[in-house]
Structure 1
Amino acid sequence: MLVRYFAAARAAAGTEAETLDLDRPTTRRDVETLLARAHPHPGPGQPPLAQVLARSSYLLDGIACPDPDTPIPHEAVLDVLPPFSGG
């Protein structure tokens, strides 16, 4: 699956996007846990990715994904959208 990061999530993860090889049925919550473990040390002045993920909204293949127990297909695109100021 492809994970795309925006704004503060991009800064905390240190990348715009990454591909995860999912070898079992996975939920959005599982993906969040994997991502937080994969990026435990943010760049200077950035909050940990786990904190950003907890405040973020998600799009699964372009559709809002508010439920952390939503199943994530292996070929999915998950966008991580932290709160944006000013709109």
Structure 2
Amino acid sequence: MTTLRFFAAARAAVGLDETTVRADSLDDALRQVAAADPDRWSALQERCSYLVDGVTTRDRSTSLTGVGVVDVMPPFAGG
């Protein structure tokens, strides 16, 4: 199982701080998220960076085998 943690605009679109999924890839995990605002969540995913156990990626085909935590990081000013 992998925990997805949502920050800033991603948290607002999803409506949760975090959720746990069973997925083979980052893309598969993101598709499992039942967002509070599905249209906003769908559009936002393309602009996010993802920290997969602390390693930054934008490649949604990244394997989640053995991964404990994915941080979903939307772009934000001042950071």
**Structure-2-length-normalised TM-score:** 0.83
Give, in whole Å, the separation in 2 of the partners of 1:54 and 1:66: 8
Give unpaired runs (5+ residues) of structure 2.
Answer: none
Give the aligned residue type for 2:32. L
CA–CA distance in structure 1, aligned partners of residues 58 and 13 of structure 2: 21
**Aligned-partner residue type, residue 27 of structure 2:** R
CA RMSD of aligned residues (A): 1.7
Equivalent residue number for residue 29 of structure 2:
31
Structure 1 segments of 4+ aligned residues over 4 angstroms from their partners: none
The alignment-based identity, stated in percent, is 36
Q: What's the TM-score, normalizing by structure 1?
A: 0.77
- Residue equivalent to 1:81: 73
Structure whose CA Rg is larger: 1
